[in-house]
């Protein structure tokens, strides 16, 4: 089992990853389009997220519109909504489970029970990282493909926003934390497989000696 310091480091990575995952899910800047136009005073920045679309004007005005209709959204946005929510839920479960299984806590029972608990929490973190990595990659692919499409006007082309970068970083944190927690429970068992305990035959030797002493008594 890994040291308490390494587990605490993995837990902090998972904590930052979970908070970043929630922030990326709620932020409206997954897709950004800056239309300066002919006058810098009327510059407009349009941002599109998973749940709302926002428009920011250079005059300081800011307005957002919620996306109420789910069926009217593209498939990649619907999939991003589902997978990001699952990623947030799994990361929250992983934090609760690993809190019980870490060596620095007094919960979870003996060492073997804590090891199994850490493994379960690590699996949650790995799944959360995968669920967070898939929508960000798919969303980025759609933005890049539309940007390289020559049939789309330049004013309608978008660029990846800050929420996508936060999603990538958070998924990486969750994956690293999950791998650390998953591998921590195998170290003790691996050592037992490599160096098996030596078998001792002291009881049989002692029985033979006792038998010899009994035969001498009869002579």
52, two tokens: 């709302």
Residue 70, token pair as written in the block: 């789910």
Distance CA 174, CA 172 (A): 5
Q: How confident is the model at residue 178 (pLDDT cuts 50, 70, 90)?
A: very high
- The yes-or-no verdict on residue 191 having pLDDT over 90 is no
35-60: pLDDT as tens digits: 655 555 556 788 899 999 888 887 77
* pLDDT over 70 (residue 158): yes
pLDDT band, residue 86 (cuts 50/70/90): very high
Contact 122, 94 (CB under 8 A): yes
| pLDDT at 167 exceeding the cut of 70 | yes
Q: Residue 44 gets which letter from DSSP?
A: E
Are the C-beta atoms of residues 27 and 163 closer than 8 Å to each other? yes
Residue 140 in this model has a pLDDT that exceeds 60: yes
Strand partners, 56: 45, 62
Give me the DSSP letters along 104-132. TSS-SSSHHHHHHHHHHHHHHHHHHHHHH
Look at 15-24, 149-158, 198-207 and tell me which has the smallest mean pLDDT. Answer: 198-207
- What is this structure's pTM? 0.77
Rounded CA gap, 128 and 120, in Å?
12
Q: Is the pLDDT of residue 137 over 60?
A: yes
Torsional class of 59: left (φ above 0), alpha (ψ -120 to 50), beta (otherwise):
alpha
**Residue in the block written with tokens 């330049």:** 154
Buried (b) or exposed (e) across 161-175, using 16+ Cβ within 10 A? bebbebbbbbbbbbb
What pLDDT shows up at residue 50?
92
Arithmetic mean of pLDDT over the chain? 81
Q: Answer whether residue 212 shows pLDDT above 70.
A: no
């Amino acid at each position: 089992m890994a040291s308490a310091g390494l587990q605490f480091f993995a837990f902090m990575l998972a904590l930052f990853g979970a908070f970043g995952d929630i922030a990326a899910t709620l932020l409206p800047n997954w897709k950004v389009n800056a239309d300066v136009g002919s006058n810098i005073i009327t510059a407009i920045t349009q941002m599109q997220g998973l749940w709302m679309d926002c428009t920011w004007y250079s005059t300081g005005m800011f307005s957002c519109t919620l996306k109420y209709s789910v069926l009217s959204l593209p498939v990649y946005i619907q999939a991003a909504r589902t997978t990001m929510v699952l990623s947030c839920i799994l990361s929250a479960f992983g934090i609760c489970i690993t809190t019980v299984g870490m060596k620095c806590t007094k919960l979870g029972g003996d060492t073997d029970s804590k090891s199994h608990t850490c493994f379960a929490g690590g699996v949650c973190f790995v799944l959360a990282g995968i669920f967070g990595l898939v929508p960000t990659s798919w969303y980025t692919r759609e933005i890049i493909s539309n940007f390289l499409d020559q049939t789309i006007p330049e004013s309608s082309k978008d660029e990846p926003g800050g929420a996508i970068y936060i999603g990538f970083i958070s998924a990486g944190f969750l994956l690293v934390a999950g791998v650390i927690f998953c591998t921590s429970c195998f170290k003790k068992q691996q050592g037992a497989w490599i160096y098996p305990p030596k078998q001792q035959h002291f009881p049989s030797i002692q029985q033979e000696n006792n038998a010899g002493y009994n035969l001498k008594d009869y002579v």
